[in-house]
Amino acid sequence: MNIMKLALPRRTFLRGTGVALGLPLLDAMVPALTAEVRTAAKPIPRMLWTYVPNGILLEDWYPNGKQGIAAEGAEFKLSTTLGPFAPFRDQLVAVQGLASPSAESRGNSRAPHTKAHTAYLSGARAKYTEGADIELGETVDQYAADTLGTDTPLRSLEIALEANYMTGNCDNGYACVYQSAMSWRTPTMPQPGETNPRVVFERLFGDGSTGKARLERLRNNRSILDAMRADMVGLQKKLGPSDRSKVNEYLDTIRDVEGRIQRAEARSSESPIPMTRPAAIPESFDDHSKLMWDLVFLAWQADITRVVTYQISREQSDHSYPNVGVTDGHHSVSHHGHNPERMAMHTRINTYHASLVAYLAGKLKATPDGDGNLLDHSLLVHGSGMGDADAHDPHNLAITMVGGLCGQLKGSRSLVYPVGENIPFMNLNLALLNKLGIGVKQMGDSSGPLAGV
């Protein structure tokens, strides 16, 4: 084996004016011990939580087609809604029976959607207010970021696909921010998801595309990669063939993402130059969502951040999905009243949302990372704050997990917990963090790490 003399630190950047571009894991970052053997780099865990509103139709989500069936390996059958995860079934875990106790009405039936959303990752009850004195609780992603985000350029990344409103009353006296912010760094510090791909791109790769430098680049249709051309040339001369190929593929992905953002900006206005914050959101929901997934992928590939929340849609969203044959609004469809036609529509929406998560999983699985691939070292937790949305029920949540979590999570399983015991979803999150050595004892309404995970 040809051992390179160059040894790069994992935190290596290409730099230009106002821009710093992290690199994916390269062979040159793995220490060489002998002429025949290299040690494998210690895998870096990455975690993502998604949120979809208005519940997930349980009848079409249950593995093996029926509630209460625990299964493993060949006995683990995928349902309609889990179908998009078929290529990853060996790293797939479906969890049923968990609840969100803090979202229960408890004498106040108002705002079940807000309560479901706020309790999902916090295990806490939102303070009833539409003013500035908002209060909830630190969310699980931020507990993860306390450890995983200490040495990355971004502590965490928050993504959303629908407009977020920070002021006003959006649900029976509850402030709009409660439905907008999936992540809370502290009980009084919400972190709403960013919807604009351009803003996310600049957050990941530096501020060289703002102000005068950005305007000049837009006028000349140039990439931020142009600013670091000299650094790229110098690095490529030092790398071996395999690493050069990895870097070229990574840079091509960045150019593709940047080009899609620029095309969206160009369509949003005849002249995007004067805009300080371009409306760089593609018109198509599908294009928008996949562009944001690509940004998450780049952030993980370059180890810019390791913790992400992704709000696919807001509670009470009446967004329609004609691309999957649903022209009625999502919220109205979720109140199906057991009408078979409307239940089928709800399932098509749920399955489509699952396919968006599977889109990222596919990119992760195809990307080598140390002794495996990025999916081996990541975990995507997908779910909703309601079980039966037709009844606004925060019990028996449909939770889907995909990824290996650095060898800490066994896949191809259906885990079933008794609904009547009201076991908090936060117990699962506690167990996941504990698997990574993140010694959190309690989060929100958790009662202890979930057994059997």
DSSP per position, 373-420: ETTTTEEEEE--S-SSGGGT--SS--EEEES-TTTT---SEEEE--GG
Q: 259: Cβ–Cβ under 8 A, 6 or more apart, which residues?
A: none
Q: Is residue 74 part of a domain?
A: yes
Beta-sheet pairing, 307-311 with 157-160:
parallel
Torsion 329-335-341-347 (CA) sign: positive
| Pair 337, 425 in one domain | yes
Question: What mean pLDDT is predicted for residues 140-150?
Answer: 96
Question: What mean pLDDT is predicted for residues 378-397?
Answer: 96
| Pair 51, 160 in one domain | yes
pLDDT of residue 13: 64
pLDDT of residue 10: 63
Question: What mean pLDDT is predicted for residues 203-213?
Answer: 60
Q: Is the pLDDT of residue 272 over 60?
A: no
pTM of the model: 0.86
Q: Is residue 365 part of a domain?
A: yes
Q: Is residue 23 part of a domain?
A: yes
Q: Give which of 286, 213, 216, 301 is closest to 254, Cα–Cα.
A: 301
| Pair 222, 88 in one domain | no
Q: Is the pLDDT of residue 227 over 70?
A: no
| Pair 138, 166 in one domain | yes
| Pair 147, 32 in one domain | no
Q: Is residue 80 part of a domain?
A: yes
Tell me the three state secondary structure of residue 216. Answer: helix
Q: Rounded CA gap, 137 and 49, in Å?
A: 16
Q: Are 395 and 58 in contact (CB under 8 A)?
A: no
Q: What is the CATH number of the domain that holds 131?
A: 3.40.720
Q: Which residues pair with 368 in a beta bridge?
A: 373
| Pair 59, 169 in one domain | yes
| Pair 158, 256 in one domain | no
Tell me the three state secondary structure of residue 186. Answer: strand
Q: Is the pLDDT of residue 35 over 70?
A: no
pLDDT of residue 110: 83
| Pair 242, 338 in one domain | no
Estimate the share of the chain in helix, then strand, then coil, as percent rounded to the nearest 5: 40, 15, 45
Q: Domain count of the chain?
A: 2
What phi and psi values does residue 262 have, to the nearest 5 degrees? -65, -40
Q: Is the pLDDT of residue 336 over 90?
A: yes
Q: Is residue 201 part of a domain?
A: yes
Question: Which of these ranges, 192-201, 271-280, 355-364, has the smallest mean pLDDT?
Answer: 271-280
pLDDT of residue 388: 94
pLDDT of residue 17: 53
Q: Rounded CA gap, 239 and 266, in Å?
A: 37
Q: Is residue 295 part of a domain?
A: no
Q: Is residue 420 part of a domain?
A: yes
Boundary of a domain, candidates 263, 280, 297: 280
Q: Give which of 250, 139, 268, 251 is closest to 196, Cα–Cα.
A: 268
State the CB neighbour count (10 A cutoff) for residue 389: 27
Question: Which of these ranges, 55-69, 86-100, 104-118, 205-219, has the smallest mean pLDDT?
Answer: 205-219
| Pair 373, 450 in one domain | yes
Domain span at 217: 1-42+196-280
| Pair 25, 102 in one domain | no
The 10s digit of each residue's pLDDT in 417-445 is: 999 999 999 999 999 999 999 989 999 99
The distance of Cα 315 from the centroid of its chain, to the nearest Å, equals 17
Boundary of a domain, candidates 230, 257, 280: 280
Boundary of a domain, candidates 280, 304, 329: 280
Q: Is the pLDDT of residue 214 over 70?
A: no
Q: Is residue 310 part of a domain?
A: no
| Pair 76, 154 in one domain | yes
Q: Are 45 and 36 in contact (CB under 8 A)?
A: no
The 10s digit of each residue's pLDDT in 312-326 is: 999 989 999 999 999
Q: Rounded CA gap, 370 and 367, in Å?
A: 10
> What share of the chain in percent tops pLDDT 70?
82
| Pair 237, 271 in one domain | yes
State the CB neighbour count (10 A cutoff) for residue 375: 24
